[in-house]
A = this chain, B = another copy of it.
Protein backbone atom coordinates (compact mmCIF):
# COMPACT_ATOMS: atom_id res chain seq x y z
CA UNK A 1 0.00 0.00 0.00
CA UNK A 2 1.52 3.24 -1.16
CA UNK A 3 1.05 6.76 0.15
CA UNK A 4 1.46 9.92 -1.90
CA UNK A 5 5.03 10.26 -0.60
CA UNK A 6 5.84 6.84 -2.07
CA UNK A 7 5.06 7.84 -5.66
CA UNK A 8 7.62 9.51 -7.93
CA UNK A 9 7.36 10.56 -11.55
CA UNK A 10 8.91 7.90 -13.75
CA UNK A 11 8.28 5.02 -11.36
CA UNK A 12 7.06 1.88 -13.09
CA UNK A 13 4.89 -0.99 -11.91
CA UNK A 14 4.02 -4.33 -13.50
CA UNK A 15 0.77 -6.25 -13.15
CA UNK A 16 -0.72 -9.47 -14.41
CA UNK A 17 -0.87 -11.74 -16.28
CA UNK A 18 -4.57 -12.48 -16.71
CA UNK A 19 -6.07 -14.80 -19.34
CA UNK A 20 -9.00 -13.77 -21.54
CA UNK A 21 -11.60 -16.50 -21.29
CA UNK A 22 -13.85 -16.98 -24.30
CA UNK A 23 -17.00 -17.80 -22.34
CA UNK A 24 -16.48 -14.85 -20.02
CA UNK A 25 -15.82 -12.56 -23.00
CA UNK A 26 -19.18 -13.50 -24.54
CA UNK A 27 -21.10 -13.40 -21.24
CA UNK A 28 -19.65 -9.99 -20.41
CA UNK A 29 -20.64 -8.61 -23.80
CA UNK A 30 -24.14 -10.07 -23.68
CA UNK A 31 -24.76 -8.20 -20.45
CA UNK A 32 -22.82 -4.96 -20.94
CA UNK A 33 -22.00 -4.45 -24.61
CA UNK A 34 -24.29 -6.64 -26.75
CA UNK A 35 -22.89 -5.93 -30.20
CA UNK A 36 -22.28 -8.75 -32.72
CA UNK A 37 -18.51 -8.31 -32.85
CA UNK A 38 -18.42 -8.99 -29.08
CA UNK A 39 -21.10 -11.69 -28.77
CA UNK A 40 -21.34 -13.70 -32.00
CA UNK A 41 -18.24 -15.43 -33.41
CA UNK A 42 -19.87 -15.92 -36.83
CA UNK A 43 -21.39 -12.47 -37.26
CA UNK A 44 -18.14 -10.94 -35.97
CA UNK A 45 -16.29 -12.16 -39.06
CA UNK A 46 -18.10 -9.65 -41.28
CA UNK A 47 -17.36 -6.65 -39.04
CA UNK A 48 -14.49 -4.21 -38.70
CA UNK A 49 -13.01 -6.58 -36.11
CA UNK A 50 -12.90 -9.58 -38.50
CA UNK A 51 -13.63 -11.98 -35.65
CA UNK A 52 -14.74 -12.05 -32.06
CA UNK A 53 -13.19 -9.30 -29.95
CA UNK A 54 -13.58 -8.36 -26.30
CA UNK A 55 -15.55 -5.28 -25.38
CA UNK A 56 -13.10 -2.49 -24.63
CA UNK A 57 -14.85 -2.17 -21.27
CA UNK A 58 -13.88 -5.74 -20.48
CA UNK A 59 -10.26 -4.96 -21.29
CA UNK A 60 -10.52 -2.02 -18.91
CA UNK A 61 -12.05 -4.31 -16.27
CA UNK A 62 -9.37 -6.99 -16.64
CA UNK A 63 -6.71 -4.30 -16.41
CA UNK A 64 -8.31 -2.97 -13.24
CA UNK A 65 -8.28 -6.47 -11.76
CA UNK A 66 -4.58 -6.80 -12.52
CA UNK A 67 -3.84 -3.43 -10.96
CA UNK A 68 -5.74 -4.24 -7.76
CA UNK A 69 -4.09 -7.67 -7.51
CA UNK A 70 -0.61 -6.20 -8.04
CA UNK A 71 -0.43 -4.81 -4.52
CA UNK A 72 1.11 -1.60 -5.88
CA UNK A 73 -2.05 0.36 -5.23
CA UNK A 74 -2.47 3.59 -3.33
CA UNK A 75 -3.32 3.31 0.37
CA UNK A 76 -7.08 3.52 0.55
CA UNK A 77 -7.45 1.94 -2.87
CA UNK A 78 -7.44 2.89 -6.51
CA UNK A 79 -9.77 5.88 -6.63
CA UNK A 80 -9.78 7.77 -9.91
CA UNK A 81 -10.77 11.39 -9.84
CA UNK A 82 -10.82 11.26 -13.59
CA UNK A 83 -9.95 8.99 -16.49
CA UNK A 84 -8.18 11.32 -18.88
CA UNK A 85 -7.78 8.93 -21.75
CA UNK A 86 -8.66 5.39 -22.73
CA UNK A 87 -7.87 3.82 -26.10
CA UNK A 88 -8.00 0.37 -27.56
CA UNK A 89 -5.53 0.36 -30.47
CA UNK A 90 -5.89 -3.38 -31.18
CA UNK A 91 -8.62 -5.92 -30.45
CA UNK A 92 -8.40 -8.36 -27.55
CA UNK A 93 -9.18 -11.92 -28.64
CA UNK A 94 -10.43 -14.99 -26.77
CA UNK A 95 -7.42 -16.88 -25.45
CA UNK A 96 -5.19 -13.81 -25.21
CA UNK A 97 -3.12 -13.27 -22.08
CA UNK A 98 -2.84 -9.70 -20.88
CA UNK A 99 -0.29 -7.88 -18.75
CA UNK A 100 -0.24 -4.28 -17.59
CA UNK A 101 2.63 -1.84 -17.15
CA UNK A 102 2.04 1.45 -15.39
CA UNK A 103 4.18 4.56 -15.23
CA UNK A 104 3.76 7.54 -12.94
CA UNK A 105 3.58 10.53 -15.28
CA UNK A 106 3.19 13.27 -12.70
CA UNK A 107 2.58 13.79 -9.01
CA UNK A 108 1.22 16.90 -7.41
CA UNK A 109 -0.03 17.80 -3.95
CA UNK A 110 -3.67 18.73 -3.65
CA UNK A 111 -4.16 22.46 -3.24
CA UNK A 112 -7.43 22.12 -1.34
CA UNK A 113 -6.68 18.97 0.72
CA UNK A 114 -3.33 18.85 2.52
CA UNK A 115 -3.97 15.21 3.42
CA UNK A 116 -3.82 13.98 -0.17
CA UNK A 117 -2.24 14.36 -3.58
CA UNK A 118 -2.91 13.53 -7.20
CA UNK A 119 -0.99 10.91 -9.15
CA UNK A 120 -1.31 10.79 -12.94
CA UNK A 121 -0.69 7.22 -14.03
CA UNK A 122 -0.43 5.83 -17.55
CA UNK A 123 -1.10 2.13 -17.91
CA UNK A 124 -0.41 0.13 -21.04
CA UNK A 125 -2.08 -3.26 -21.42
CA UNK A 126 -0.37 -5.69 -23.80
CA UNK A 127 -1.22 -9.10 -25.17
CA UNK A 128 1.04 -12.17 -25.21
CA UNK A 129 2.75 -10.87 -28.36
CA UNK A 130 3.65 -7.58 -26.71
CA UNK A 131 1.11 -5.64 -28.76
CA UNK A 132 -0.59 -2.74 -26.99
CA UNK A 133 -4.32 -3.38 -26.66
CA UNK A 134 -5.19 -0.54 -24.29
CA UNK A 135 -3.72 2.73 -23.06
CA UNK A 136 -5.29 4.19 -19.93
CA UNK A 137 -4.40 7.51 -18.32
CA UNK A 138 -5.94 8.10 -14.90
CA UNK A 139 -5.69 10.83 -12.31
CA UNK A 140 -5.68 9.06 -8.94
CA UNK A 141 -6.49 10.51 -5.54
CA UNK A 142 -3.81 9.30 -3.12
CA UNK A 143 -3.69 9.99 0.64
CA UNK A 144 -0.56 11.34 2.26
CA UNK A 145 1.07 9.24 4.95
CA UNK A 146 -0.58 9.99 8.29
CA UNK A 147 1.67 11.73 10.83
CA UNK A 148 1.59 8.72 13.17
CA UNK A 149 3.01 6.51 10.42
CA UNK A 150 5.88 8.74 9.33
CA UNK A 151 8.39 6.31 10.73
CA UNK A 152 6.71 3.23 9.29
Hey, which bits of chain A sit against chain B, CB under 8 A? 31-37, 47-48, 55-57, 60-62, 64-65, 68-69, 76-88
Contact = CB atoms under 8 A, between A and B. Distances in A.
A47 B84 CA distance: 24
Contact of A87 (B61, B82, B87, B88): B82
A64 B68 CA distance: 23
Nearest to A32: B61
Given A47-B77, A82-B86, A57 B55 contact: no
Contacts of A68: 33-35
23 contacts: A31-B65, A32-B61, A32-B65, A33-B64, A33-B68, A34-B68, A35-B68, A35-B77, A36-B77, A37-B77, A47-B76, A47-B77, A48-B76, A56-B80, A57-B57, A57-B61, A61-B61, A81-B87, A82-B87, A83-B86, A83-B87, A84-B85, A85-B85
A86 B56 CA distance: 14
A6 B92 CA distance: 30
Nearest to A84: B85
Contacts of A64: 32-33, 55, 57
A77 B29 CA distance: 13
Contacts of A86: 82-83, 86
A83 B85 contact: yes
Given A31-B61, A32-B61, A84-B85, 14 more contacts: A31-B65, A32-B65, A33-B64, A34-B65, A34-B68, A34-B69, A36-B77, A48-B79, A57-B61, A80-B88, A82-B86, A83-B85, A83-B86, A86-B86
